[in-house]
Amino acid sequence: MTGTNWAGNLTYSATKLLEPTSVEELQSVVAAAPHLRALGSRHSFNSIADTNGVQVSVAALPPEFSVNADRTGVTVSAGLRYGELIGHLDRAGLALHNLASLPHISVGGAIATGTHGSGDRNGSLASAVSALQIMRPDGEVHDYCRGDDDFDGMVVSLGSLGIVTYVSLDVVPTFEVRQDLFENLPWKSVTDHLDEITASAYSVSLFTNWGEQVDQVWLKSRSDDAPPPAELFGATPATRQLHPLPEESAVSTTVQLGVPGPWWDRLPHFQLAFTPSKGAELQTEYLVPRDRALEAIDAVRAIAHLLRPHLFISEIRTVAGDGLWLSPAHSTNCVALHFTWQPHMSEVQALLPRLDDALAPFAARPHWGKLFETDSARLAEAYPRLTDFRTLADRFDPEHRLANDLTSQWLGR
Ligand SMILES: Cc1cc2nc3c(=O)[nH]c(=O)nc-3n(C[C@H](O)[C@H](O)[C@H](O)COP(=O)(O)OP(=O)(O)OC[C@H]3O[C@@H](n4cnc5c(N)ncnc54)[C@H](O)[C@@H]3O)c2cc1C
């Protein structure tokens, strides 16, 4: 046994965890293991990173951080956590276009599941990937670049194509961001002005427990963009630092109250040195096309009485569409509806089909790294390139050595 995932809701069934320190050693590990799967920083809530064989971490491979000659891209170790990568980027005067709510996750794990932050014009973290080095299950190392045949199928891979060793990412010159929070946004403002609200800053997050109003709105504005609005459709400007979970100390959150700071210290909600979010929790998230967002929000509000007893908080964000086959934002701009559940595993599991049924009419796509109950037929409908991905997975891994029960069920293979 190799322990539990970050949230502790899952004990992996893998027989061992290996951390090779060279590509040659990784090759031997891959050659010897009948069944294997890459493990990142363990932050997924379902068994996507599990196997009944060997888990392989690439965190101990020789570290890599190199900047392209034109300073528009970097190549990094897939096992690097964003929290480590941002130090390298900062020293080079560079930035990623966006980050997730936490910097604790690995690059390889985040891109494999389509992890995203927020922002109308910000694609998922995977959308910044320009090249990948993948060790396929036959032990061969292959380099793939944006524009290569099927590259768009390889980035959000669910860990099903091989072990990603190194990743190239688009970068931009460093920038500063300020966070301005508002409290108690009326639902009517969301209904009437959702597009204006999400366009009011570089990255916008709405936090709610689906009660009388949206409890908090976080505006993350670039210093080189327009300043944040002084008023936000009836919400009240926050006058103290907040945590999305009202009962938690805000000491773990990134600096707010309009104080500008580096991109990496404002785009995530939580600081690297602290436990992000709550810790003992579960998560679920669906992305819906923007033009179905208000209907989807209404559908969740209609079952809020069922969800609330098991919910810590929900977050509503936006994600720009991309071309990646299994990206939850594939080919359409999206609104993401996220649920941070209390650690009530059986009750949450019982609710998941209900939530899935409520959101299915709006072409909702579940986040691959979180908890959901969507059958393979609906997944194939929601992800139009799923069948192409299955064909790709069969080509990369004909003996299904990387498959696990969950991915086999999702992909129908
Ligand atoms: C507190 C918290 C906050 C979160 N916030 C967000 C958020 O803001 N936005 C969001 O979208 N998600 C969020 N997530 C979900 C999280 O980003 C995803 O679950 C992500 O996949 C976790 O990355 P990881 O490195 O822990 O990967 P793991 O959970 O360890 O693995 C995930 C998948 O990646 C594969 N993988 C890992 N490394 C490699 C590799 N080198 N090669 C090939 N495959 C690999 C694994 O096989 C597995 O399939 C959050 C999770 C937590 C716990």
Residue range 227-247, pLDDT digits in tens: 999 999 999 999 999 999 999
Tell me how far apart the alpha carbons of residues 282 and 345 are, in angstroms, rounded to a whole number: 8
pLDDT at 126: 98
**What residues contact residue 258 under an 8 Å CB cut-off, 6+ apart?**
178, 179, 180, 228
pTM of this prediction?
0.98
User: Mean pLDDT score of the chain, rounded to an integer?
Assistant: 97
Tell me how far apart the alpha carbons of residues 35 and 403 are, in angstroms, rounded to a whole number: 8
pLDDT at 370: 98
Q: What is the CATH number of domain 176-376?
A: 3.30.70.2520
CA of 370 to the centre of ligand 1 (A): 9
CA of 236 to the centre of ligand 1 (A): 34
Tell me how far apart the alpha carbons of residues 206 and 187 are, in angstroms, rounded to a whole number: 11
- The DSSP call for residue 324 is -
- pLDDT per residue over 23-67, tens digit each? 999 999 999 999 999 999 999 999 999 999 999 999 999 999 999
- pLDDT per residue over 257-286, tens digit each? 999 999 999 999 999 999 999 999 999 999
Q: State which H helix or E strand residue 356 sits in.
A: helix 345-359
- pLDDT per residue over 74-89, tens digit each? 999 999 999 999 999 9
The residue-averaged pLDDT of 109-134 equals: 98
Phi, psi of 9 (to 5 degrees): -85, -5
Token readout for 146 is 């944006």
- pLDDT per residue over 308-354, tens digit each? 999 999 999 999 999 999 999 999 999 999 999 999 999 999 999 99
Residue 1 CB burial class (10 angstroms; 0-12, 13-18, ≥19):
exposed
Per the listing, tokens 């908890």 go with: 371
The residue-averaged pLDDT of 104-133 equals: 98
CB 259 within 8 A of CB 336: no
CATH 3.30.465.10 fits 65-173, yes or no: yes
For a ligand 1 pocket test, name from 39, 55, 129 the mutation site with the most ligand atoms within 8 angstroms of its C-beta.
39
CA of 203 to the centre of ligand 1 (A): 21
- The DSSP call for residue 302 is H
Tell me how far apart the alpha carbons of residues 311 and 340 are, in angstroms, rounded to a whole number: 6
The residue-averaged pLDDT of 150-178 equals: 98
CB 60 within 8 A of CB 138: no
CB 106 within 8 A of CB 100: no
CA of 104 to the centre of ligand 1 (A): 10
CB 277 within 8 A of CB 359: no
Count the helix, strand and coil residues of the chain and give each as a percent rounded to the nearest 5.
30, 25, 45
When computed from its CA atoms, the radius of gyration of the chain, rounded to whole angstroms, is: 20
pLDDT value at 1 more than 90: no
The residue-averaged pLDDT of 366-395 equals: 97
Tell me how far apart the alpha carbons of residues 10 and 124 are, in angstroms, rounded to a whole number: 26
Tell me how far apart the alpha carbons of residues 201 and 203 are, in angstroms, rounded to a whole number: 5
Phi, psi of 280 (to 5 degrees): -80, 95
Per the listing, tokens 């170790």 go with: 77
The residue-averaged pLDDT of 131-139 equals: 97
| Helix 293-302 vs helix 187-198: crossing angle, to nearest 10 | 150
**Minimal CA–CA distance to 309: which of 257, 350, 358?**
350
Domain residue extents for the chain: 65-173, 176-376
pLDDT value at 401 more than 90: yes
CB 326 within 8 A of CB 126: no
The strand pair at 365-366 and 282-289 is best described as antiparallel
Predicted confidence band of residue 399 (pLDDT cuts 50, 70, 90): very high
Ligand 1 atom closest to Cα of residue 48: 49
Q: State which H helix or E strand residue 185 sits in.
A: strand 176-186
The residue-averaged pLDDT of 294-316 equals: 98
pLDDT at 2: 82
Sign of the C-alpha dihedral computed for residues 57, 174, 120 and 298 taken in this order: positive
Q: Is 17 left (phi over 0), alpha (psi -120 to 50) or beta?
A: beta
The set of protein residues with a Cβ atom below 6 angstroms from ligand 1 is 6-7, 37-44, 48-49, 58, 78, 100-102, 105-106, 108-110, 112-113, 115-116, 158-159, 163-164, 276-277, 283, 367, 369
**Minimal CA–CA distance to 190: which of 206, 203, 204, 201?**
206
CA of 323 to the centre of ligand 1 (A): 20
Tell me how far apart the alpha carbons of residues 228 and 178 are, in angstroms, rounded to a whole number: 9
Token readout for 98 is 């966006």
Ligand 1, atom 10: nearest CA belongs to which residue? 115
pLDDT at 101: 97
Tell me how far apart the alpha carbons of residues 181 and 193 are, in angstroms, rounded to a whole number: 17
